[in-house]
Amino acid sequence: MNNSNSNNNKNNIIVDKDSYISLNATIKLFDENGNFQFENDLLAVEKYLETEIKPNFKKFNSIKEKLEYLFLENYYDFNVFKKYSSSFLISIFEKAKTYNFRFSSFMGAMKFYTTYALKSFDNKTYFEHFEDRIVCNALLFGRGNEQDALTYLDEMMTGRYQAATPTFLNAGKKQRGEYVSCYLLRVEDNMESIGRATTTGLQLSKRGGGVAYCLTNLREFGAPIKGIKNQATGIIPVMKILEDVFSYANQLGQRQGAGAVYLNAFHPDILKFLDSKRENADEKIRIKSLSLGVVVPDIAFHLARENKDMALFSPYDIQREYGKPMSDISITEEYENLLNNPNITKKYISARKLFQQIAEVQFESGYPFILFDDIANEKNSALNNRIIMSNLCTEITQINTPSILNTDLTYEQLGEDVCCNLGSLNIAKVMEDGANFGKTVKYAIKALDSIAHLADLSSAPTIENGNSKNRAVGLGAMNLHGFLATNKIYYDSEEAVDFTNMFFYTMAYHAYKASNETAKETGFVFENFKNTKYADGSYFDKYTQCEENYWTPKTERVKELLKEYKLAIPTKQDWIQLTEDIKKFGLANSHLMAVAPTGSISYLSSCTPSLQPIVSPIEIRKEGKVGRVYVPAYKIDVNNYMYYAKGAYEIGVNPIIDICSAAQQHVDQAISMTLFLTENATTRDLNKAYIYAFNKKCVSIYYIRIRQEVLKDSEKLFECTTCVI
């Protein structure tokens, strides 16, 4: 976030812990009938608004007066609002009030007012309620079209669509960060590229974005420099520099800058890379705050299965032999050629040792993230470019192309890098209006396309170049467990997988249809469309070349649900017609779907995160000065408690992988998939999880969470209440 916005969102407003905090805490206590008092959470919301927000909210006599004040005092960006008439601006703010929005959890209310609502520069006065922030987003997305703005208002006020945090937070504000969630940069094997990547990371972190780097192409420790052997210091010093960058660019203390680095598993520095996250790592190599990700080609699994050694190949030599960087070749396809080439330096490690070390480090730190290289590229629509990395949350898999830099760090050849324009559907809310599912997806894609057009990425020319050419977006979804539980379906069931499959199958159809309609209406087709599998329709063969009823629900319960919610499933003929339209008119966006973790916005929306199961029916969060906050699951009550009773640790990894695998069939990018293991898990269990996820064609694995038994006895009793209702 830029400097001028930072103090606008700190929470230093004094709270009264003896009122709403105590009410919230009582939801974990039993009433006289032995049931949790979930209704007290709504009482906590009322008390919070009455005692904390209302006294500190600036009052205006009219909407007109309020807008004039916020423009004059540089709180609202007039450039967003001036595209609409004054009368419309007043009417849309009035319209927003008619929805009579109420927060359905204390956590949601507190999250909004402490994180998202516009506050005075001294942080003592609130200027916005929830509906005001929604209006700002609707106006931004509408880009001057009044009817579109009203439609966006409806989609967001009803909770069907929720913008990602950077967009929702910054829309309409004068002092703001960027609308984009995160960025992906590739680094080439030269000082100019390293230097440019460092300065770009500073600029992007200043604006509030997380930044991931691909380091695969950097020469290994001991590689030659200018023909002199044993000179290169490898990737660790570069990681140290990047870590310092993100520690420095901390957005005036609001939050630390966030960075990640990805490395191919066949890079010679891979073991040092992993060791940098060990708890007892030497300080010379220890990486404390930077996230790590490993790109794992299929061949690594094959070698591990056969208990063979794997060769690690010099990126320096690969560049000289192939005339292209290591990241731009398929290690799986070229493995034998690389192995037999005497001009490529190599060293050997046990393939099983690599996976063992990955598991050990994950037990200690939760890292590294894993990107399944060949699975990601099987889903890649581009014919001539490879996916080489992911982002901070492992849901983005797009194309990065190399740049060539002059010695003054100007560009001789401008490559393409990636930004993440993200938003999410609330599955439960979308299903409530299942007959209009297509409309919701259409406007969600249009909203994200607007962000791709409006984002100011001039501080990062390669990202600006990639965004302008590709207009890539990432529409995701959240509240899967919430929808399942409130419809009395267990998360770890055949019905849950069946529903997930059908939901994302339908979502994909409407996402592609929306992008195709945008291309028809505007004439804009992403630049490389002709060199993709979209152009000849082959990308959609799984929908157009299948048996007639292949993509239909398999369980009676899901058939009933779809009928009950009036959700129409696209037919094979629908896909055939859409494919022909895409071949003829193209797509406006190179990428369309990606399922982010939705941590903050799921709390804001009082729903379950992403596609993950809940951790506990009542989650305990530590929130700054407030302390412990108790967060009940979405619409939890006596009737559906049993469907929430098993949390993520009890459910285990396989059902989570099954759910994500079902969705991944239709998601053109990736899914942030966190795996939860109990305190009794071993590295062998983790290795089994990798293999299972690999075999189920998941694209990535995000964090590994190991439950730690460190709670007090009273809290342990609370954690073991799955049978009380």
Q: Decide: 369 and 292 in contact? Cβ < 8 Å.
A: yes
> What's the pLDDT tens digit per position in 356-399?
999 999 999 999 999 999 999 999 999 999 999 999 999 999 99
Instruction: Please report the pLDDT score of residue 251 as a whole number.
Output: 53
Rounded to an integer, what distance in angstroms lies between the CA atom of residue 151 and that of residue 439?
10
Q: Over 80: is that where the pLDDT of 3 sits?
A: no
> What's the pLDDT tens digit per position in 440-450?
999 999 999 99
Nearest to 236 by CA among 272, 200, 201, 280: 272
> What's the pLDDT tens digit per position in 546-602?
999 999 999 999 999 999 999 999 999 999 999 999 999 999 999 999 999 998 999
Active site residue 465: no
**Active-site residue, from 170, 391, 465, 467:** 391
Minimum mean pLDDT among 26-30, 47-51, 317-321: which range?
Answer: 26-30
Which of 712 and 237 is assigned the larger pLDDT? 237
Active site residue 391: yes
CA distances to 8, 444, 480, 485, 494 from 566, in Å: 43, 20, 18, 19, 21
Identify residue 666 by its one-letter amino acid code. H
Rounded to an integer, what distance in angstroms lies between the CA atom of residue 144 and that of residue 708?
51
CATH code of domain 182-413: 3.20.70.20
Instruction: Please report the pLDDT score of residue 227 as a whole number.
Output: 81
**Active-site residue, from 136, 214, 393, 660:** 393
Instruction: Please report the pLDDT score of residue 408 as a whole number.
Output: 93
**Active-site residue, from 52, 131, 395, 464:** 395
> What's the pLDDT tens digit per position in 270-282?
999 999 999 888 8
> What's the pLDDT tens digit per position in 305-320?
999 999 999 999 999 9
Give the model's confidence band at 233: pLDDT under 50 very low, under 70 low, under 90 confident, else very high. Answer: confident
Long-range contacts of 317-320 (CB under 8 A, 24+ apart): 317/343, 317/344, 317/345, 318/344, 319/189, 319/217
Give the model's confidence band at 9: pLDDT under 50 very low, under 70 low, under 90 confident, else very high. Answer: very low
- The mean pLDDT of 41-68, rounded to a whole number, is 96
Q: Over 50: is that where the pLDDT of 297 sits?
A: yes
DSSP strand pairing (182-186 vs 418-420): antiparallel
Which positions ≥6 away from 706 have C-beta within 8 Å?
363, 366, 677, 678, 679, 681
Q: Decide: 613 and 481 in contact? Cβ < 8 Å.
A: yes
Q: Rounded mean pLDDT of the chain? A: 92
Instruction: Please report the pLDDT score of residue 629 as a whole number.
Output: 93
b/e code 153-179 from CB counts within 10 Å (16+ = b): bbbbbbbbbbbbbbbbbbbbbbbbbbb
Residue spans per domain, the chain = 182-413, 613-706
Give the model's confidence band at 257: pLDDT under 50 very low, under 70 low, under 90 confident, else very high. Answer: low
For residue 13, how far is the Cα from the chain centroid? Answer: 30
Active site residue 336: no
Q: Over 50: is that where the pLDDT of 10 sits?
A: no
Dihedral pair phi/psi, residue 540, rounded to 5°: -100, 15
Rg of the Cα trace of the chain?
25
- The mean pLDDT of 250-254, rounded to a whole number, is 51
